């Protein structure tokens, strides 16, 4: 009788051990297939946010944004970082990451593009043929431009299916923007100034 119990408990330990080695699992839309460390940080950040620990969530999201993701530049977390800053009452940083997210989305759908600057080998962001000169655009040129990213930046096929991921990202961006605006309007103005 003890024997089946031992084999059952042994199997249970094996399952726990194997499960401990498996990459973090959650349903965050920012997850990337094969980016285990990044996914683990994202899932831990979502768990921290759900438990109300926004400082820990922010720390994990920022660490996740520093992880290399091979499919495209690691721009997927900018919206969540913006929202987390807003939950902490830090709207200046929130607005900065919303601008980064906005430029990333415009780049992803081809409205904003990278172009080599005339006076150097660097690239800058352009829209409608005109260089974008804001500090945010200069920062994002360093993130989005370069030969390694050129293949991922614009839709080559121009079929409806290729736009689905971008459409989902645009809808997430708009939902986050509205949520942040709601947080901004519900917080007393003196508290906003103090935290910024």
Phi, psi of 114 (to 5 degrees): -95, 140
Is the residue at 107 inside a domain? Answer: yes
Strand order in the sheet with 130-131: 112-116, 123-127, 130-131
Is the residue at 195 inside a domain? Answer: no
Is the residue at 124 inside a domain? Answer: yes
Is the residue at 101 inside a domain? Answer: yes
Is the residue at 168 inside a domain? Answer: yes
d(CA 74, CA 76): 6
Is the residue at 63 inside a domain? Answer: yes
Q: What is the DSSP letter of 34?
A: T
Is the residue at 38 inside a domain? Answer: yes
- Give the residue numbers spanning the domain of 124: 24-185
pTM: 0.77
User: What is the count of structural domains for the chain?
Assistant: 1
- Ramachandran assignment for 117, one of left (phi > 0), alpha (psi -120 to 50 degrees), beta (any other): beta
Task: Give, for all 196 residues of the chain, the pLDDT tens digit.
Answer: 444 444 433 433 333 333 334 455 798 988 888 889 999 999 999 999 999 999 999 999 999 988 877 545 568 899 999 999 999 999 999 999 999 999 999 988 888 988 888 777 788 999 998 999 999 999 999 888 876 555 554 555 566 777 787 788 889 999 999 999 999 998 766 555 445 4
Is the residue at 140 inside a domain? Answer: yes
């Amino acid at each position: 009788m003890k024997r089946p119990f031992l084999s059952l408990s042994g199997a249970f330990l094996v399952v726990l051990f194997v499960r401990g080695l498996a990459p973090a699992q959650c349903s965050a839309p920012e997850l990337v297939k094969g980016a285990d460390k990044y996914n683990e940080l994202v899932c831990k950040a979502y768990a921290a946010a759900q438990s109300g620990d926004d400082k820990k969530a922010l720390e994990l999201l920022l660490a996740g944004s520093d992880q290399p993701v091979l499919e495209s530049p690691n721009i997927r977390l900018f919206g969540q970082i913006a929202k987390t800053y807003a939950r902490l009452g830090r709207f200046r940083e929130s607005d900065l990451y919303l601008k980064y997210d906005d430029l990333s989305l415009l780049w992803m759908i081809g409205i904003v593009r990278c172009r080599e600057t005339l006076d150097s080998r660097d690239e800058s962001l352009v829209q409608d043929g005109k260089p974008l000169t804001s500090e945010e655009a200069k920062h994002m040129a360093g993130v989005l431009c370069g030969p390694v990213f050129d293949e991922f930046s614009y839709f080559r096929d121009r079929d409806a299916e290729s736009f689905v991921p971008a459409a989902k990202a645009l809808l997430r961006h708009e939902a986050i923007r509205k949520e942040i605006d709601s947080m901004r309007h519900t917080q007393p103005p003196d508290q906003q100034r103090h935290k910024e």
